[in-house]
Every structure is written in C-alpha cells, then in structure tokens.
Amino acid sequence: LSFGSYWFDIISEIVGLELITKDKLPNLCQWIDEFVNHSFVKENLPDRGRLTQIFTMFLGSAAK
C-alpha cells in the first residue's frame, strides 16, 4: 500500500475521485503522510510531476 498509495493519490487526482480522505480514513491518511515524508522514502520517490504526466498520457489513451 505504501508506495502504491503515492501512485494511487496521483491517479485519484487525475480522474477526480477522492476515495481515501482524512474524514473517512484518518489513521490511514496519517500513516501515508508519515511514510511519504520519511527522509529515505522522500529521497527515493519518483518525481510527482513526471508521474502525473505519464499517468495522464496512459489514462488518456486507455479512454480512447
């Protein structure tokens, strides 16, 4: 879930769905925030902007 949550957040943003929210799942959101902001993880995550571009292209071609 951890690294996948980073990707899931980007995809959710692109398609406009909000499945994991602080109101619905506060403990999970806190854990995700702590994980993603850990220094080792933060240094090794792929660039969010680049992933957004890739997912946008992928999701756009999947919709056709």
| Predicted confidence (pLDDT) per residue in 15-55, tens digit | 888 888 889 999 988 988 898 889 998 899 889 999 999 99
pTM of the model as a whole: 0.66
Helix (H) and strand (E) counts for the chain? 4, 0
User: How far apart are the two ends of the chain, measured CA to CA in Å?
Assistant: 29
CA-based diameter of the chain, in Å? 39
Domain ranges of the chain: 10-61
> Residue 59 has what pLDDT?
82
What is the C-alpha to C-alpha distance for residues 25 and 27, in angstroms, rounded to an integer? 6
Residue length of the chain: 64
State mean pLDDT over 3-11: 77
